[in-house]
Amino acid sequence: MTDQVKEILSKVSQSDDVAHEFDSSILQRYQDLLLEFRRRTGGQRFGQFQAGLKVIEAVLVAMGALLGYILALQIFDFTTNLLIWSFYLVLLFMVVLTIRLIPDEIRLLNEKATRIRLVNLCERLAGQLALFGLIYDKESRNSDEHKIINQLSEYIPEYETLSEEDKRTIQNCLDSDIIFDDSRETNISLENLDIDNRTAERLNRATKEIVDLCTYIFAGGSFTAKLYLRTKMEIDNKEGIEVLTSFTKYPAPSDRPRGSSWVKARGNPSIVWEALENSHPNHVQEEGIGDYYNSVLAIPLPGRIGVLAITSDRIDAFVEKDDELSVRALAVASRANALQALEISDS
């Protein structure tokens, strides 16, 4: 008797497993269908579709009581009432299923895509870090520095083409008798760099990757990254003056895609020049330090060819998070991306 019971229970269990697999298969196909529909229509239109379903759900729930009252009047025969109720319940079930289950699947899909993108970015940074650890030694730094800076200087506009205001700023920076009280008195606008759209897009894409990574490296907040490269501007056939020129910024307004650049000056150097001259990351935090940020981390690039400046709206964005490995990885990757985008040889 016991064996017969066990056999019956085993068959029932197998039947339940088959039914569960069958239901899961149907549900998976339905989810795949909706995800394909979302892919074809786009996220915004699918969002409108979901909003419409929520309205339909509310209407159906409200109509349930009314439908029950009408059918209770026995206007139709039993078979018709059964068909109406069946249609109503199936329709309500499909609407609720779409609203309740599919958004979760889409959320998980987006999270998976984000994780894959993050892993790819991290692998790229790790690869660049390992590569530069092999080929970038102390002997090559000094020999490459001046050559790279000269090539970078070819991208900046000539002194004669600058605005009168920027010319005055440069002349003031050349005057050894002037001591600046505010480092902002040493910034100029060099928007018209001699780089084509393809190069600008590659620089912008590389800077965006840095911003995407910052959210995970420094845990929270909104970030902006700007890449300054070291250049020399000739003035009246003289040796000229050095400028940390902003080659790319992300995100940036369309009317000022690169922002300000910083002229080298005595007295009160800017955060980025101080980081470059000290060859050490410079972390400054202060409420309202900038128009849109409260903290900045300036990271000198290997070979002292520039500075990566990362800003955040959070005043504690970089506190106890700017460890040597993260900072060095960002510096090496930024240098590699910049030279690759500008097609400048590192040897």
Please state which of the ranges 68-77, 243-252, 286-295 shows the lowest mean pLDDT. 68-77
Please state which of the ranges 5-19, 30-44, 186-200, 301-315 shows the lowest mean pLDDT. 5-19
pLDDT of 270 over the 60 cut: yes
pLDDT of 226 over the 60 cut: yes
Write the pLDDT tens digit of every residue in 129-147: 565 555 454 444 444 688 8
Write the pLDDT tens digit of every residue in 6-62: 454 454 444 444 444 445 566 666 666 666 666 666 555 666 666 776 777 777 777
DSSP string covering 308-342, please? EEEEESSTTTTTTT--HHHHHHHHHHHHHHHHHHT
pLDDT band at residue 104 under the 50/70/90 scheme: low
Which architecture characterizes domain 139-341 according to CATH? Answer: 2-Layer Sandwich (3.30)
SS3 242: strand
Please state which of the ranges 47-61, 75-89, 252-266, 284-298 shows the lowest mean pLDDT. 47-61
Which strand (E) or helix (H) includes residue 99? helix 78-135
CB atoms inside a 10 Å sphere around CB 280: 13
The pLDDT score that the predictor gives to residue 56 is 77
| Length of the chain in terms of residues written | 347
How far apart are alpha carbons 82 and 42 in whole angstroms?
Answer: 39
Residues 200, 222, 181, 271: what is their CA dihedral angle, to the nearest 10 degrees?
-60
The pLDDT score that the predictor gives to residue 309 is 95
The pLDDT score that the predictor gives to residue 273 is 93
DSSP string covering 20-67, please? HHHHHHHHHHHHHHHHHHHHHH-HHHHHHHHHHHHHHHHHHHHHHHHH
Specify the pTM: 0.61
For residue 183, what are the CA distances in angstroms to 52, 156, 238, 268, 270?
Answer: 55, 21, 25, 6, 5
Where in the chain are the domains?
A: 2-116, 139-341
